Structure 1
Amino acid sequence: MHFPRRSGILLHPTSLPGPHGSGDLGSEAHAFVDWLAEAGQSLWQVLPLGGLGPGNSPYMSSSAFAGNVLLIDLRELQQRGWLSTEEIAPPPGRDDARIDFAAMVPYRMQRLALAATRFAPRSSAAERAALAAFEQQHADWLGDYALFMALAEHHGWRDWCEWPDGLAAREPAALQRARETHRERIAFWVFCQWCFFRQWAALRAHAHSRGVQIVGDMPIFVAYQSADVWARPRLFELDASGRPTVVAGVPPDAFSATGQRWGNPLYRWSEHAKGGYAWWVERVRRSFELVDIVRIDHFRGFAAHWEIPASEPTARKGAWVKGPGEALFRAIADALGPLPIIAEDLGVITPDVEAMRLAFAFPGMRILQFAWGEGEAAEPRFLPHRHASDSVVYTGTHDNDTTLGWWQAADEATRHHLREYLATDGRAIHWDMIRAASASVADTAIHPLQDVMGLDSSGRMNFPGQGEGWWAWRFRREQLPADAAARLRRMGALYERLPKPAL
């Protein structure tokens, strides 16, 4: 799909300012949209919007369809009368520069529970009708999700295959007993999803009113401990007891001697094909109800994925196994029409991956940090003069160091190559890279906010292969350089990336 020339900012909502331990969908998110519009940016790229998984990663959610309840704006719940002013007072000792997940999660969850208990006695008829309509609209996934979350909590987050009394096998009588036993907690999870979707819809509408579209992020795989795998085990490579036989990852490469063992269960693609890829069609359809453009993570996995025996502790002993290829995307296109999808085509890209991307006109990705240097770590296809218009160029992604952090750690050969290529002394390397991305022939340029701010490695969001200690970065509004919006707008004007005025 052809995109107009445009640019945007990569920032997950959890990194926004705010008084309640992490960013959310409240006033600071709306203010950030206003800043994007001021800066001439027409895209806001976020990470997956689902719940957090192991290591607080948004890429291991408990549902492929549900939203992250920790993003719910507590002030809006207070304004509706479901929380008191005292109850949303900022927690003591909070750190506005990083998320303290151990403190933030219980703080927010306790307040969501209070709001849920007060909904029935304090809500209006219109609010109750809206919740009922939401339940009906999302009935295909919401019931399984809410029951899964209630059961997972009750069983201390043990793997679902270890749940007793017929629950792992989803025996109808056992499920009915569970619905009755856990009725209140199921209602809590439904209420939270309604709040998330309501608030997200308001934020997205505000973005559209300012000429900003949302770029979402869809992980190719789902977490084992998720409502999706529990509710539809036949769609995944599981044994008779419900445990994965093989798991996902990527092989060893120049960045990791043992590869990456992600641990997600792999799809039983033959079953998906039998059903016309219906689960995938619905997943994509629901994603586009939340966002305007979808970046599909690990796109190459649809051509072939790295299959690791579940018994292996690392990704060394795996094999490439053929995926569904074009058949999946043909089914999606037949059901939903052409869609604005970005293919994350990083890593080992074989001709069949490129052919699949081109067949559906999905733009690929170009990462500037990978372009310069010598040896295996450098990828010349990412050099600006090799870019194609049907691509999205980034200085770096959430998995990279910040540009300044990367530059400070780069070897002299990489530095020399970049200085010579961009005719720069490197003293403002983050703006040099933003300018190179903006000048690229790629239709779309995305800049991580950390690079706009000129942050060093302290602003890094994630480190692939390290399971703990990441996803916690936040910024304060006063940290934004006063001239950043004007500089971005000027680059947008110079390189024809400013939004076109409505006719």
Structure 2
Amino acid sequence: MNWPVAKRAGVCLHLTSLPGSFGIGELGSNARWFIDRLKEAGLHAWQFLPLGPTAYADSPYQPLSSFAGNPLLVDTETLVDQQLLRSHEISSLEQLPHNTVDFGKLIPLKTALLRKAATRFATHASPAARTAFDEFLHLHDDDWLADYALFRVLKTMHAERPWTQWEPNFRHRDRAALAGIEARYAAEVHSEKIIQFFFDRQWRGIHQYASDQGVTLFGDVPIYIAHDSADAWTGSDILQLDDDGQPTHVAGVPPDYFSADGQLWGNPVYDWEFLEKSHFGWWVNRFRHAMTLMDLLRVDHFRGFEAYWSIPFGARTARDGQWVNAPGDALFSTLRQELGELSVVAENLGVITPEVEKLRTDHDIPGMVVLQFDAAEPDFDVAAIDEHTVVYTGTHDNDTTTGWFNGGPGDTRTDAEIEEHQRLVTHNTGGEPQRIHLDMIELAFASAARLAVVPMQDFLGLGSETRMNTPGTESDNWRWRLTRPQFDSGLADTIAMMVADGGRD
């Protein structure tokens, strides 16, 4: 297992948030620059969000595939260097903002450029590049790539409508109908495969570079898959779907103190009976693939492997759901038998029962502690944080620490409640309001947790305007970007001193 043998520190920054000149973070020189800065700062882990191709609300947690990479991350400069794009052709991307991602403008521009590069690769690739592409096809075409490429072409044909709104022969994957599309749109299908090859080749280069610099790549595996995805279209047996492909039950979480109606996520829930009878083959393939891309994996919504909140499809809120047991012990036993020791961390937040914790500890899986959830509690004690833990100041779903401390947008607390919250936090951290982000980082670093991860925004002391995601909303998320001047040598030196003071290697 790729678990630190000594106390280590890391950063959370999604790939889209990397700096650069082409509208979004990419897998090129800026990713290598960031890894160099991490090494300089004494940070040995880089955590990021899921890598799949985004669609709905640009969320990395609703990918079009659990296996494919996000084409928007493909490095533009590399394609120019390989003479697959011309310098003048990329000027449209250079006009996009540098400190935020404007997905609405970016997606059509970059998609057109990627398809142009793929067409040139198909006709002008060197013998060595063709051989590498053929090897990529040999490894992945039968497992997921062919289906994903066909899915993307069909989505384009249907103006991006969900697959459940396609004609029945496409919806139900009629062999003759699909063969006809593959023949008629052979070039387009081939281009989608080439674009995935671009991503794979660039990603593995970044992975190797990070390894050479002693930086662990810490990825994310969402428990649920998007309904409108190649996974659901090709694997309807693993989900609770009706004959038309619509879910019979969907995922969410029950009502609690924070939400009277609970949360209705809408993802189809798994047919665990089928999965168990098939020896969890789909899950084995999913983890095997993820483990080739990343060194350490966060398993999102871990409690759903012990029991999940199942809501009838069509319900207006999550109130109508119920807990249904899941075969988590059998699943993780099978994964360990097939793949060896798993380099995973459980996102064990929310409604965590003794049964969930038993599943986690029985399989020796580290858990998480988020200081924003605990540091304002009267009985908080940093010494209670176990070493078999990843401690965070906050996650991508939290406000920045500065925003959280001051009371960000949408905060429903009274001024008196915010003041009491601030009093407890400063008391528990032993810090000062003006530097609360640094106090929280120092608290995380001082804990016994083997790994401490801090969002990049917290290292910078930024406010709510740079928050990555606000759960339950669909706009203005996933957009923040770092700029190179923000992460200068001075900040790297400051972080390195905090890492050393916290006894982290």
TM-score (norm 1): 0.95
Q: For 1:392, what is the secondary structure of its paired residue?
A: strand
**131, 135, 147: which one pairs with 2:137?**
135
How far residue 399 of structure 1 moved from its aligned partner, in angstroms, is: 0.1
How far residue 92 of structure 1 moved from its aligned partner, in angstroms, is: 6.2
| Corresponding residue number in structure 2 for 1:59 | 61
| Corresponding residue number in structure 2 for 1:404 | 402
- Compared CA separation, residues 34 and 92, structure 1 to 2 (3 A): closer
Does the 8 Å contact 1:396/1:403 carry over to 2? Answer: yes
Distance 2:464 2:349 in 1: 22
Q: C-alpha offsets along residues 155-192 of structure 1, whole Å, 9 cap, x if unaligned?
A: 12222123225111112111211211221111111011
Does the 8 Å contact 2:376/2:428 carry over to 1? Answer: no
How far residue 194 of structure 1 moved from its aligned partner, in angstroms, is: 0.2
Q: Which has the higher helix share?
A: 2
* Amino acid across the alignment from 1:395: T
Does the 8 Å contact 2:251/2:264 carry over to 1? Answer: yes
| Corresponding residue number in structure 1 for 2:486 | 479
- Compared CA separation, residues 325 and 165, structure 1 to 2 (3 A): closer
| Corresponding residue number in structure 2 for 1:273 | 276
| Corresponding residue number in structure 2 for 1:27 | 29
Indicate whether 1:48 and 2:50 are aligned: yes
Indicate whether 1:167 and 2:167 are aligned: no
Q: For 1:316, what is the secondary structure of its paired residue?
A: helix
How far residue 481 of structure 1 moved from its aligned partner, in angstroms, is: 5.5
| Corresponding residue number in structure 1 for 2:412 | none
Distance 2:396 2:428 in 1: 25
TM-score (norm 2): 0.95
Does the 8 Å contact 2:405/2:422 carry over to 1? Answer: yes
How far residue 323 of structure 1 moved from its aligned partner, in angstroms, is: 1.1
Matches within 5 A, 1:140-151: 140-151=143-154
Q: For 2:434, what is the secondary structure of its paired residue?
A: coil
Distance 1:493 1:252 in 2: 43
Does the 8 Å contact 1:19/1:90 carry over to 2? Answer: no
Q: For 1:411, what is the secondary structure of its paired residue?
A: helix
Q: For 2:86, what is the secondary structure of its paired residue?
A: coil
* Amino acid across the alignment from 1:475: L
Indicate whether 1:216 and 2:223 are aligned: no
**435, 448, 451: which one pairs with 2:442?**
435
Does the 8 Å contact 1:75/1:88 carry over to 2? Answer: no
**169, 177, 180: which one pairs with 2:180?**
177
- Compared CA separation, residues 3 and 170, structure 1 to 2 (3 A): same
Q: C-alpha offsets along residues 381-436 of structure 1, whole Å, 9 cap, x if unaligned?
A: x7422210100000000000000000111712221112112222221011100000
Q: C-alpha offsets along residues 125-148 of structure 1, whole Å, 9 cap, x if unaligned?
A: 111111111011012111111111
Distance 2:37 2:492 in 1: 7
* Amino acid across the alignment from 1:433: M
* Amino acid across the alignment from 1:20: F
Distance 1:459 1:441 in 2: 29
**334, 339, 342: which one pairs with 2:342?**
339
**251, 256, 269: which one pairs with 2:254?**
251
* Mean CA deviation greater in 406-415 or 195-204: 406-415
Does the 8 Å contact 1:390/1:443 carry over to 2? Answer: yes
**263, 267, 270: which one pairs with 2:266?**
263
* Amino acid across the alignment from 1:42: H
Distance 1:93 1:408 in 2: 35
Matches within 5 A, 1:87-486: 87-91=89-93, 93-139=95-141, 140-164=143-167, 166-373=169-376, 383-409=381-407, 411-480=418-487, 482-486=489-493
How far residue 258 of structure 1 moved from its aligned partner, in angstroms, is: 2.4
Does the 8 Å contact 1:368/1:383 carry over to 2? Answer: no
Does the 8 Å contact 2:93/2:110 carry over to 1? Answer: no
How far residue 91 of structure 1 moved from its aligned partner, in angstroms, is: 3.4
Distance 2:482 2:93 in 1: 18
Does the 8 Å contact 1:165/1:174 carry over to 2? Answer: no
Q: C-alpha offsets along residues 86-128 of structure 1, whole Å, 9 cap, x if unaligned?
A: 0122536522221111111111111101101111232101111
Q: For 2:433, what is the secondary structure of its paired residue?
A: coil
How far residue 26 of structure 1 moved from its aligned partner, in angstroms, is: 1.2
Query: Sequence identity of aligned pairs in percent?
Result: 43
| Corresponding residue number in structure 2 for 1:501 | none
Distance 2:390 2:339 in 1: 23
How far residue 252 of structure 1 moved from its aligned partner, in angstroms, is: 2.3
Distance 1:372 1:392 in 2: 15
Q: For 1:264, what is the secondary structure of its paired residue?
A: strand
- Compared CA separation, residues 442 and 391, structure 1 to 2 (3 A): same
* Amino acid across the alignment from 1:490: M
* Amino acid across the alignment from 1:3: P
Does the 8 Å contact 1:45/1:216 carry over to 2? Answer: yes
Structure 2 spans left out of the alignment, 5+ residues: 408-416
Q: For 1:238, what is the secondary structure of its paired residue?
A: coil
Indicate whether 1:11 and 2:13 are aligned: yes
* Amino acid across the alignment from 1:162: Q
Distance 1:303 1:172 in 2: 37
* Amino acid across the alignment from 2:147: D
- Compared CA separation, residues 34 and 229, structure 1 to 2 (3 A): same
How far residue 219 of structure 1 moved from its aligned partner, in angstroms, is: 0.2
- Compared CA separation, residues 319 and 232, structure 1 to 2 (3 A): same
Distance 2:343 2:92 in 1: 39
Distance 2:381 2:151 in 1: 46
| Corresponding residue number in structure 1 for 2:414 | none
The number of equivalent residue pairs is 493
Does the 8 Å contact 1:389/1:443 carry over to 2? Answer: yes
Does the 8 Å contact 1:53/1:59 carry over to 2? Answer: no
Distance 1:244 1:106 in 2: 30
